[in-house]
Structure 1
Amino acid sequence: MLLASLDPAAVAAGHDLDDAVRIAGSTLSRSDLVGAGTSVAERVGSQVGPRGRIAVLATPTPTTVLAVIGCLIAGVPVVPVPADVGVAERRHILTDSGAQAWLGELPDEPEGLPHIPVRLHARSWHRYAEPPPESTALIVYTSGTTGPPKGVLISRRAIAADVDALAEAWQWTSDDTLVHGLPLFHVHGLVLGLLGSLRIGNRFVHTGKPSPEAYAAAAGSLYFGVPTVWSRVVRDPDSARTLASARLLVSGSAPLPVPVFDELVRLTGHAPVERYGSTESLITLSTRADGERRAGWVGTPVAGTSTRLIDEAGDEVPHDGESIGRLEVKGSTLFDGYLNRPDATADVLGADGWYRTGDVAVVDADGMHRIVGRESVDLIKSGGYRIGAGEIETVLLGHPDVVEAAVVGVPDDDLGQRIVAFVVGVADPKALSDFVAEQLSVHKRPREVRIVESLPRNAMGKVLKKELS
């Protein structure tokens, strides 16, 4: 059963939990989740049928929680729609997905779709058969480098496999209280945070805005955050020290700056777990609760997953911690393709089962991986060298006058690409370039350093390097 903790028979037999989910000022028990979720499932099933698709405005509210649970009980795929998405992108998501109705909250422009309300106090105890594991649970839209967002088909089997693998790696159990304040329309917040908790059976707390004060007040044992969240936490030492009582801090969705990693260790006593994944693959790499946690490294493949690094000739690169290769993954957590896009699916998912992530990485002799970045923007080919932008960014972030840094390659008639660093901070550009040359090889120094007020980022904290020029 995908949502194992919500087994109606077990809940009816007394295996309830009064505070299974806390979100937006409301507390829901397991019995609430089963009864209200089943009531939602009945309304969904009667209006769209088992072959339907449902759009859910994915705000962090009890309504969203029950809407997702109801669809999963009914076996109807959920299309999570970001609450702040623009009109044109929302229209594309609805049209491309073939969503037949809105479930729960409504956006300002519902685009003519009918509305199915979520009644928070309605209850039903009808028993539904568990849908097939290969059936689609979620259609999550993700933006690529070109064209409109693509709908990623994520099966029930993939979600279950990934949560179970992470439970093993992180020693995640029903005794945990998981805390985060992340969006419920991405893998990190929705699949790992909410659905993971409903599978494992732990308490789940959504803080709303992921502020240091809210994280400290939640009294959790397991915390999820993106680097922006952890950067804010370490700038609030009192809140950070409160997290010393937690069991595990997990960072993902973007690289965690080494200085932030070090400050978390100093203030909380915890070396954070770093992990890597994507909408298409879910989480495939992670450091472990019982293993080494090395700043800037995202660990080894989780159970059921394999990786390989490929060079431009199609050969595997050495596991020497230095050689850069294209990262490919294979295993039970992979998506089933892009909706309506067989061409795009074939571009990244081979007949042999290997998914071409578009990221570049290095791996050492122990199998530990470090993500260099996106092949399209983070692999810089300058003067005949293959250089990872992430390595330079890590060094820059170690300078006391640098707050944020992003490195890109720009076209250059002589070098092919010229290394340019965008830096938030108060520092002398030449001094920063010399600083990199002292720490790394001279050919890796930025030829140009631009001091800026801020870096463009998306909702998950990832720097939008395409906007840097």
Structure 2
Amino acid sequence: MDLLGGTGGPVRVAGRELARDELLGWAWSVAAEIRGADAVAVHATASLETVAAVAGAILAGVPVVPVPPDSGPDERAHIFGDSGASLLLGAGGPSDGPPLVPVDGLPRNGAQGPAGAPGDATAMILYTSGTTGAPKGVPVSRGAIAAGLDAVAEAWEWTPDDVLVHGLPLFHVHGLVLGVLGPLRTGSPLVHTGRPKPEAYAAAARDGGTLFFGVPTVWSRTAADPSAAGALRGARLLVSGSAPLPVPVFERLYELTGHRSVERYGMTETLITLSARAGGDRRPGYVGTPLPGVEARLAAEDGAPVPPDGETPGELHVRGPMVFKGYLNRPEATAASFTDDGWFRTGDIAVAGPDGWYRIVGRASTDLIKSGGYRIGAGEVENALLAHPAVREAAVLGTPHADLGEQVTAYVVADGVGERQLIDFVAARLSVHKRPRAVHLVDSLPRNAMGKVVKTRLAAPSP
């Protein structure tokens, strides 16, 4: 199965640009060096070397393992050992793992060879964040990537006439699969800004960018920069993912850019499964409806169906051609992640409306709060807090409570507002039982490389 298109526009990363033909010539040189390997790791910096390395592995039919450039020695050792990567692709220099193939030293006019592999062959082994132990390897097949990219291209009306712009890390689904393989497959030019700064997005928009990818942190910073946001009025589509986009940010972006952002939902294990459509409705706080070929449902803790009434939360289950088959070397984790009838258990809590629109309210492990007999989604409380004009960031979780079991606890970055004011503000907008019983005012929230708040690192300030 051929994942990459043969023609298309140039690729620019952090100011360096290559024509499509030259990039593919470079990728064929990589393919010649690694053909026959069981798997290869890539030092996944935001660089043309990373793009050429990944494209070369795809052409050679060799599973590619992106390694975050800021990963520590223990994490790297785990990824190298668990994946079985026998080579490391990157710029010249010493390697702390497998033998290094210096991609920057390879010619850019490699001879075309046999390409592709069967659709069920592994294209990538992506690693989860490892918040509950060592990162788990997620083998993603060539067929899954093709199905996922074709589905979002249809949903977002993504064509070779677009110019994709983003500055996301190149070791996750968002930045690498959607943000690199996506334009290579559709034929659209790619402009990677190096870092996802509002001023860089604005400059790319002025230079003809049409399709912009960002995480909520990127869009929040853009919404706080009216000049940069205004430059995006000429874009065709703004897409937000990797975490819920706060409703106030959605609304502020609309005010400044004229665009109602497309929100979508996906995971390393599933790629993108739910999305709003370029040509349809876009609702703040909602991640849309299932993509073509995808089925979705909600289940209670006992496995019983949850009604799509727009109110009752349940665990989101999905199945479709872009969903993976199981974790690498983890049969027990695989068994626990799939239902007996073959649905993947995402671990995310969602609400579905009668019209099939989904809203994510949080992770089952941290964002479903059971307080006094009520089930409360953290995301709903976070959006209520973010509606306060003094609040810049908010994270909500359940903490132990002797009487209620758990209480709603909020960590808030805000200026000139107190705990009681914020509690009363939420109580006036949501059911009283959903109000925070404790609000901790903090200077910042801990985030990972994709801008997601890491709630396991939140702790009450010392008295």
TM-score using structure 2 length: 0.96
Are the aligned partners of 2:348 and 2:360 in contact in 1 as well (CA < 8 Å)? yes
Cα-to-partner distance string for 1:115-152 (whole Å, 9 max, x where unaligned)? 11213543222331421111000001112442100110
Residue aligned with 2:202, SS: helix
Greater CA drift, 28-37 or 271-280:
28-37
Structure 1 unpaired stretches of 5+ = 7-15
1:434 aligns with 2:424: yes
Are the aligned partners of 2:287 and 2:360 in contact in 1 as well (CA < 8 Å)? yes
1:74 aligns with 2:64: no
Letter in 1 for 2:11: V
Equivalent residue in structure 1 for 2:34, among 11, 19, 44: 44
Residue aligned with 1:165, SS: helix
Equivalent residue for 1:192? Answer: 178
Equivalent residue for 2:47? Answer: 61
Query: Aligned partners of 2:310 and 2:131: how far apart in 1?
Result: 28
Query: Aligned partners of 1:226 and 1:199: how far apart in 2?
Result: 22
Equivalent residue in structure 2 for 1:114, among 99, 111, 133: 99
Query: Aligned partners of 1:129 and 1:321: how far apart in 2?
Result: 47
Residue aligned with 2:447, SS: coil
Query: Aligned partners of 2:411 and 2:93: how far apart in 1?
Result: 37
Query: Aligned partners of 1:256 and 1:107: how far apart in 2?
Result: 39
Query: Aligned partners of 1:338 and 1:451: how far apart in 2?
Result: 39
Equivalent residue in structure 2 for 1:172, among 155, 158, 165: 158
Query: Aligned partners of 2:97 and 2:404: how far apart in 1?
Result: 53
Residue aligned with 2:375, SS: strand
Post-superposition offset of 1:315: 1.4
Are the aligned partners of 2:29 and 2:106 in contact in 1 as well (CA < 8 Å)? no
Equivalent residue in structure 2 for 1:210, among 153, 178, 196: 196
Post-superposition offset of 1:112: 4.4
1:140 aligns with 2:129: no
Inter-CA distance 248–115: structure 2 relative to 1 (3 Å threshold): same
Query: Aligned partners of 1:434 and 1:370: how far apart in 2?
Result: 25
Are the aligned partners of 1:382 and 1:418 in contact in 2 as well (CA < 8 Å)? yes
Greater CA drift, 347-356 or 230-239:
347-356
Residue aligned with 2:449, SS: coil
Equivalent residue for 1:374? Answer: 363
Query: Aligned partners of 2:197 and 2:458: how far apart in 1?
Result: 28
Are the aligned partners of 1:57 and 1:107 in contact in 2 as well (CA < 8 Å)? no
Equivalent residue for 2:146? Answer: 160
Post-superposition offset of 1:29: 1.4
1:393 aligns with 2:379: no
Q: Map 1:88-127 to 2 at 5 A.
A: 88-105=74-91, 110-118=95-103, 119=105, 121-127=107-113
Query: Aligned partners of 1:125 and 1:154: how far apart in 2?
Result: 27
Query: Aligned partners of 1:437 and 1:252: how far apart in 2?
Result: 29
Query: Aligned partners of 1:231 and 1:4: how far apart in 2?
Result: 33
Equivalent residue for 1:458? Answer: 448
1:233 aligns with 2:222: yes
Equivalent residue for 1:25? Answer: 15
Structure 2 unpaired stretches of 5+ = none
Cα-to-partner distance string for 1:172-215 (whole Å, 9 max, x where unaligned)? 11110000000000000000010011111101110001111110
Post-superposition offset of 1:170: 0.5
Residue aligned with 2:5, SS: helix
Query: Aligned partners of 1:292 and 1:33: how far apart in 2?
Result: 37
Letter in 1 for 2:322: T
Residue aligned with 1:439, SS: coil
Equivalent residue in structure 1 for 2:250, among 253, 261, 281: 261
Post-superposition offset of 1:217: 1.0
1:5 aligns with 2:5: yes
Cα root mean square deviation, aligned: 1.3
Inter-CA distance 112–309: structure 2 relative to 1 (3 Å threshold): closer
Are the aligned partners of 2:88 and 2:97 in contact in 1 as well (CA < 8 Å)? no
Residue aligned with 2:250, SS: helix
Residue aligned with 2:428, SS: helix
Residue aligned with 2:335, SS: helix
1:422 aligns with 2:408: no
Query: Aligned partners of 1:78 and 1:351: how far apart in 2?
Result: 30
Are the aligned partners of 2:394 and 2:411 in contact in 1 as well (CA < 8 Å)? yes
Inter-CA distance 222–112: structure 2 relative to 1 (3 Å threshold): closer
Post-superposition offset of 1:34: 2.0
Task: Report how many aligned residue pairs link the two structures.
Answer: 454
Query: Aligned partners of 2:305 and 2:92: how far apart in 1?
Result: 49
Residue aligned with 2:283, SS: coil
Inter-CA distance 176–289: structure 2 relative to 1 (3 Å threshold): same
What's the % identity of the aligned pairs? 60
Residue aligned with 1:5, SS: coil
Q: Map 1:296-335 to 2 at 5 A.
A: 296-335=285-324
Residue aligned with 2:228, SS: helix
Query: Aligned partners of 2:262 and 2:2: how far apart in 1?
Result: 25
Cα-to-partner distance string for 1:293-346 (whole Å, 9 max, x where unaligned)? 111100000111111100123111111110000110001011121111111111
Are the aligned partners of 1:63 and 1:120 in contact in 2 as well (CA < 8 Å)? no
Equivalent residue for 2:394? Answer: 405
Are the aligned partners of 2:23 and 2:108 in contact in 1 as well (CA < 8 Å)? no
1:130 aligns with 2:116: yes
Query: Aligned partners of 1:4 and 1:114: how far apart in 2?
Result: 27
